[in-house]
Amino acid sequence: MNVFAPSRLFDVRPGELRLFVRVFFVLMLTIAGHTLLETARDTLFLARLPAKMLTLVYVCVAVGMLVITPLNVRLTRRAGGRNALVVSLLLAAFTTAWFRTRAPSATVVFALYVFGTLSATLLIGQFWLLVGSLFSAAQSRRLFGPLASGGVIGAIAGAGAATLLLEIAPVRALLSVAVLGYFSAAWLCSKVPLDEATLGTEQARSPITPELSKLGRDPFLWRLAAIAALSIAASIAIDYLYRARVATSLRPDQLGPFFARYQLALNIGSLLLQLTVTSRVVQRVGVLGLALTAPTLLTLGGTLSAISGASFAVVVMLKATDSAMRNSLGRVSSELLWAPVENQARGRGLVELLVTRVTQALAGVVLLGATMSSHFSPVLLAIAAAVLSGAWLLVGLGLRAPYIDRFRLALSRGSVERDFTPSELDLTSLEMLVEALSRPDANEVIAAMNVLAERKRDRLIPALILYHNDEQVLIRALELFGGSSRADWLALGERLLEHPVARVRLAAVRAFALAGSTPVLERVTTHVDPALRAFSALYLAQLGGKALPDDPLTWELFRTDGPEQTLKLAFIETLTAHPPPDATRILLGLAQLPALERAVTESLGLVGDESCIPYLITRLQFADERLAARRGLVRLGPPAFEALNAALTDAATERRVRIHIARTLAAFATPSAVSALLQIMASDQEGLVRYKALRGLGQLARETALSIELQPLRDDLKRNALEYLRLFSARTAIESDASAASKLAVRLVVELLDDKIQQSFDRLSRLLQIMHRGDDIRTIFTALSGTDRRQRGRAIEFLDALIRGFGRDSDDAAALLRLVVDELPATERARRAAGLVGVFSDARSTLDLLLNDSDDIVRELARHALPSLDRSRTPDSSTRLELVERPA
């Protein structure tokens, strides 16, 4: 399935056009001026100096950048990104004008070459640093490709102007026109808004030196630095090889026209590449795939050059590939890779100042030594270019994990860690809770006991609390003491057998039964209260492992039980604590009374055998019994699991039961449960059941280390993304018809669609959370709906990088998800989705299509809404509708 269908060459959205056009022309004019300067520089240099002098140029450029970069960083901090670029453009213009007035001696030509390289590096770096502060990560992905084409167009304009000028003027005349390009770019750059272009922050004012240790520890920055070093080294090798071959293949009078025409042809090709390939590549393979394109092509080109013996044609093609990649795909990928890095000015300053320039200097020194050797050969240089490009490719292959981690770190800043597990009580908290046990308010005492019990500190509850006056406190304390291994309460508890309240007396007997205190129970068999005598006898029978006689419902003891069934509930609780062999039979008999069903379910969840499985499955439909029934089914193991699977496929199973089976299967936490849930998600006919299976898988992903196959999840991700786009397109079409959308019946359809759209969005986040357990996907989706533009952009890029892999299927899923989450106007999103989900042109045709929807409610509401489109409102009906729609 081809989910990528570009909507237009330039995806510039409302509110972005004015800023985009300004920076586009700033880059175009800057590159036009540089291309003119570069043509004059190359021609004058190779006409007056030998090619081996280029090695000294590389060293001088590296040393010059070591001096200029700190000055540039200070200028950017003080003046801001926009003003720093304006100043640099003006300096470039004045310096170029000065060179125009000098005679082209060997020294002046050498200095011009160094200046041209330094100015281009500085200006282009400043421009992209400024642009990176103006656009978010998501905007960068869309706009950097078209924006880079501005540089290519500028290069075409500069090369075209150079070609024409060289027909009627000397080479040095190109410098005059270059001055005009730089001045025009500076003037236009001064019109760029300042609000988000200021890069200076307090953090950025710290010295760059401490960043060295950070660079070594940060795998992402380390790889970016390695890529910068390897790419500049490969570029230098290719550049020297190219210029050396040109110098030996052409006469001096042929150099100027050749360079001008070469630049023109190269940049026309780059523009075609930019317009037809770059945007598609970015959307198709993502940022990380884009970063691997240039080194892959250069590795192949370098290898081919070495095999061909560094022939002139192949070397020119290699240089053209390097230049085209560097000005289009390479530049876009570099800027997008830096997008998630905070404090780019400092990080990039470090790479530019130390890594890139040191590499450039070393490459120049190595080349200088190589050219002085008698064994130097252009073939060796081609091999070196291939090896360096191959190393660049290997480093790029390991970018994915640190790139995702960088977005993950940026998105997690400011988030609150939530831990819902009971925390350990400190000494002060314990003192407060123990103090609360002596307060007169019974609710405070019970709350303190509950907190201590939850934190497993119930031994701090003193036995003397059994002297408390409130019966609720006494009953809760007896429950806690009876289920513990403590013995310090037994004497005080026996005293409560004479308590005036019957509930307290029964609670005391029950506590002794739970504690297994046979001597006390034997003494209670002679008590004056017949209920206590009967219960003590029952408890003694249980503790002795004897079966209880007959059906408990026929016992004389229970004939006097009140409507609250106090005696029976007490009996069920004690039966659970010490179950006899026929406990399940007795409990199922007690379940015949509706008032006892909940208590029976809870007891069967703890002591039931396989014969209670059908009963527990039926209790899944009741919210207050569901957890107990689920716990009991899990305890019974494989027989219960098979019974649940059978109930899911049984047409006689009530829907109220069926919709809760998936979550119950998940509670088994086994590989079989994972397989069953995946099968339900893929094939069940009911959406709610599939959703419950999805939640069950989410629980397993969160709480266990069970392996979950990704392909079914990816398929479901695509299905839900398409469903989201279908519903979104339908709603957009209806809302675009104002007269139809104002009708009450149609509005009900829109509200239902809104609800289903939100459900699809929720399913997408849950699926992604299962696929990527280590990430907080909920936080990422929260950022998508937030107001922070940069956080939204980071969230979009994070999701895109997270999903993409080396397979077409994962790329399709990523492209679909991006269409769902990208910042698009509603009509534009619907237009782009039309090829995937169909066209929803207007309200009437959309409602016609919804008549065939798989959801019964959607079909029914659409059926009622269609006739309303043909009815006009009368004044009376309008008044009545206003009353209905008016908020209470």
Concatenating the DSSP letter of every residue in 127-174 gives HHHHHHHHS-HHHHHHHHHHHHHHHHHHHHHHHHHHHHHTTTS-TTHH
CB 57 within 8 A of CB 113: yes
In one-letter notation, the amino acid at residue 795 is A
At residue 493, the pLDDT reads 87
Could you give the 3-state DSSP secondary structure of residue 16? coil
Give the pair of three-digit tokens for residue 590. 């007690």
CB 148 within 8 A of CB 331: yes
At residue 613, the pLDDT reads 93
| Predicted confidence (pLDDT) per residue in 448-466, tens digit | 888 888 777 778 888 888 8
Q: What is the mean pLDDT of residues 710-727?
A: 89
Q: What is the mean pLDDT of residues 119-123?
A: 84
Count other C-beta atoms under 10 Å from residue 129's C-beta: 23
Q: Is the pLDDT of residue 282 over 60?
A: no
- Mean pLDDT taken over the chain: 78
Chain centroid to Cα 218, Å, comes to 20
Q: What is the mean pLDDT of residues 862-878?
A: 69
Alpha-carbon distance values, 113 to 39, 118, 161, 250, 644 (Å) = 10, 9, 20, 20, 79
In one-letter notation, the amino acid at residue 143 is L
Q: Which of 36-45, 472-481, 524-533, 814-823 shows the lowest per-residue confidence on average (mean pLDDT)?
A: 524-533
Q: Which of 6-10, 673-677, 865-869 shows the lowest per-residue confidence on average (mean pLDDT)?
A: 6-10
The b/e string for 402-439 (b: 16+ C-beta within 10 A; e otherwise) is bbbbbbbebbeeeeeeeeeeeeebeeeeeeebeebbee
Distance CA 357, CA 346 (A): 16
Distance CA 635, CA 639 (A): 10
Q: Is the pLDDT of residue 660 over 90?
A: yes
Banded pLDDT at 347 (limits 50, 70, 90): low
Select the more confidently predicted residue: 525 or 771.
Answer: 771
Alpha-carbon distance values, 210 to 213, 223, 348 (Å) = 6, 18, 14
CB 729 within 8 A of CB 831: no
Q: Which residue has the tokens 């252009």?
A: 378
Banded pLDDT at 586 (limits 50, 70, 90): confident
Could you give the 3-state DSSP secondary structure of residue 191? coil
Q: Which of 152-156, 233-237, 411-415, 642-646 shows the lowest per-residue confidence on average (mean pLDDT)?
A: 411-415
Percentage of the residues of the chain whose pLDDT score is greater than 70: 77
| Predicted confidence (pLDDT) per residue in 721-738, tens digit | 999 999 999 999 988 888
Give the pair of three-digit tokens for residue 385. 């270019």
Give the pair of three-digit tokens for residue 105. 């001696």
Give the pair of three-digit tokens for residue 92. 């470039």
Distance CA 214, CA 2 (A): 42
Q: Is the pLDDT of residue 386 over 60?
A: yes
At residue 414, the pLDDT reads 41
At residue 727, the pLDDT reads 92
In one-letter notation, the amino acid at residue 669 is A
At residue 329, the pLDDT reads 60
Q: Which of 63-67, 504-508, 680-684, 879-883 shows the lowest per-residue confidence on average (mean pLDDT)?
A: 879-883
Q: Is the pLDDT of residue 358 over 80?
A: no
At residue 486, the pLDDT reads 84
| Predicted confidence (pLDDT) per residue in 172-228, tens digit | 888 899 999 999 999 998 888 764 444 443 344 444 444 545 555 667 777 777 887
Banded pLDDT at 663 (limits 50, 70, 90): very high
At residue 203, the pLDDT reads 40
Banded pLDDT at 270 (limits 50, 70, 90): low
Q: What is the mean pLDDT of residues 357-380?
A: 73
* DSSP H or E run through 531: helix 530-543
At residue 93, the pLDDT reads 92
* DSSP annotation of 353: I
Distance CA 273, CA 334 (A): 17
Helix (H) and strand (E) counts in the chain: 43, 0
Q: Is the pLDDT of residue 482 over 90?
A: no
pTM value is 0.55
Distance CA 517, CA 533 (A): 15
In DSSP notation, 565-612 reads -HHHHHHHHHHHHS--TTHHHHHHHHTTSGGGHHHHHHHHHHH--GGG
Banded pLDDT at 275 (limits 50, 70, 90): low
Q: What is the mean pLDDT of residues 148-169?
A: 82
At residue 416, the pLDDT reads 35
Give the pair of three-digit tokens for residue 373. 């050797």
Give the pair of three-digit tokens for residue 548. 């209880």
Distance CA 855, CA 860 (A): 9
Q: What is the mean pLDDT of residues 542-551?
A: 63
**Which range among 180-194, 241-255, 790-804, 813-827 has the greatest average pLDDT?**
180-194
CB 68 within 8 A of CB 118: yes
Distance CA 334, CA 148 (A): 12
At residue 597, the pLDDT reads 87
Banded pLDDT at 48 (limits 50, 70, 90): confident
Select the more confidently predicted residue: 711 or 888.
Answer: 711
Count other C-beta atoms under 10 Å from residue 353's C-beta: 20
CB 462 within 8 A of CB 437: yes
Alpha-carbon distance values, 312 to 219, 248, 267, 437, 528 (Å) = 40, 10, 20, 93, 116
Distance CA 132, CA 102 (A): 37
Select the more confidently predicted residue: 545 or 72.
Answer: 72
Banded pLDDT at 469 (limits 50, 70, 90): confident
Alpha-carbon distance values, 610 to 547, 581, 584, 607, 837 (Å) = 18, 13, 9, 10, 49
| Predicted confidence (pLDDT) per residue in 416-440, tens digit | 333 333 445 556 666 777 777 877 7
Select the more confidently predicted residue: 55 or 349.
Answer: 55
Distance CA 506, CA 569 (A): 11
| Predicted confidence (pLDDT) per residue in 283-316, tens digit | 555 666 767 777 888 888 888 888 888 788 888 8
Q: What is the mean pLDDT of residues 247-275?
A: 72
At residue 657, the pLDDT reads 92
Q: Which residue has the tokens 């660049």?
A: 392
CB 632 within 8 A of CB 638: no
Query: First vs last Cα of the chain: how many Å apart?
Result: 49
Residue whose C-alpha is closest to residue 74's, from 92, 61, 87, 89: 87
Q: What is the mean pLDDT of residues 230-252?
A: 79
Q: Is the pLDDT of residue 673 over 90?
A: yes
Distance CA 62, CA 652 (A): 80
Distance CA 338, CA 336 (A): 5
794: left (phi over 0), alpha (psi -120 to 50) or beta: alpha
Give the pair of three-digit tokens for residue 206. 């710290």
| Predicted confidence (pLDDT) per residue in 61-113, tens digit | 777 877 787 787 778 878 888 888 899 999 999 999 999 888 888 898 889 98
Banded pLDDT at 548 (limits 50, 70, 90): low
Residue 292 burial class via C-beta count within 10 angstroms: exposed 0-12, middle 13-18, buried 19 and up:
middle
